[in-house]
């Protein structure tokens, strides 16, 4: 992706220019992604700081003019998995053999059949959608964040997450079904 097989050799001036002009403008998106991963302000700040430090350290692997935001998100995702996930209170990893097989097996490739209706969905408020998303396993939550909130393409997501593009699509499909199930249960409990 944004990593070049041949390393660059930027001058200090060029490094600072790339960092300030191509990396720093994404700080808000980075902070929001970090917060949606950790759900803790201090952890989010640490994760952002850690990501930017790494981005500077490995800046010679970055090709100027390529997608800096995707490159930074990839670093952040890896940092989170390696350093932050352990202390995070999030559930542990899901069983991917079960999950990734889900989309491709004949019997299960169906839309989730909830009783959700358009008017019900329109009545849901921010807190409910926030809680439903937070209740998803981190890996499912991540694909929804990257696609719906950050607008990455499937191809960019595959590179950020280090998974095949088909897996991106199936994980997203599964994540959305799980989210719908959660929203459905909220709607029922609210008496919509």
Partner 1 sequence: MSLKKLVNEIKFRTGTAKCTEYLELVQRVLDGQASRSQEVYLKRHQKMCLKCLERFNIDQEIKKLIQLKLASREVPEGLAEAIKTKIAKSA
Of 56 and 192, the one with the shorter C-beta distance to partner 1 is 56
Shortest reach from residue 97's CB to partner 1, in Å: 21
Shortest reach from residue 121's CB to partner 1, in Å: 4
User: Rounded to an integer, what distance in angstroms lies between the CA atom of residue 38 and that of residue 92?
Assistant: 13
Of 59 and 93, the one with the shorter C-beta distance to partner 1 is 59
Name the nearest CA neighbour of 8 among 74, 44, 60: 60
Shortest reach from residue 93's CB to partner 1, in Å: 24
59 near 19, Cβ under 8 Å?
yes
Shortest reach from residue 108's CB to partner 1, in Å: 10
Of 41 and 93, the one with the shorter C-beta distance to partner 1 is 41
Of 28 and 86, the one with the shorter C-beta distance to partner 1 is 28
Query: Binding residues for partner 1, per CB under 8 A?
Result: 12, 15, 19, 24, 27-28, 31-32, 35, 41, 45, 48-49, 52-53, 56-57, 109-111, 116-118, 121-122, 124-126, 129-130, 133, 144, 147-149, 153-154, 169, 172-173, 176, 179-180, 183
Of 6 and 12, the one with the shorter C-beta distance to partner 1 is 12
Shortest reach from residue 5's CB to partner 1, in Å: 25
Of 77 and 132, the one with the shorter C-beta distance to partner 1 is 132
DSSP sequence for the chain: --B-SSPP---HHHHHHHIIIIIGGGHHHHHHHHHHHH--HHHHHHHHHHHHHHHHHTGGGBPTTS-HHHHHHHHHHHHIIIIITTTS-S-----HHHHHHHHHSGGG-S-------HHHHHH--HHHHHHHHHTS-HHHHHHHIIIIIT---HHHHHHHHTS-HHHHHHHHHHHHHHHHHHHHHHHHHTT-
Shortest reach from residue 92's CB to partner 1, in Å: 25
């Amino acid at each position: 992706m944004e990593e070049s097989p041949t390393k660059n050799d930027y001058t200090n001036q060029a490094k600072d220019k790339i960092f300030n002009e191509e990396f720093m403008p994404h700080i808000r998106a980075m902070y929001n992604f970090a917060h949606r991963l950790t759900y803790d302000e201090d952890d989010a700040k640490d994760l952002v700081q850690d990501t930017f430090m790494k981005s500077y350290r490995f800046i010679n692997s970055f090709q100027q003019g390529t997608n800096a935001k995707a490159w930074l998100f990839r670093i952040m995702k890896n940092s989170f998995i390696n350093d932050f996930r352990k202390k995070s209170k999030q559930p542990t990893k899901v069983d991917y053999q079960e999950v990734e097989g889900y989309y491709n097996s004949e019997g299960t490739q169906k839309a989730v059949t909830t009783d959700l209706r358009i008017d019900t969905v329109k009545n849901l408020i921010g807190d409910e959608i926030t809680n439903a998303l937070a209740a998803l396993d981190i890996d499912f939550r991540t694909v929804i964040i990257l696609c719906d909130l950050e607008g990455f393409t499937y191809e960019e997501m595959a590179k950020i997450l280090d998974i095949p593009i088909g897996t991106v699509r199936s994980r997203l499909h599964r994540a959305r079904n799980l989210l719908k199930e959660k929203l459905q249960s909220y709607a029922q409990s609210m008496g919509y």
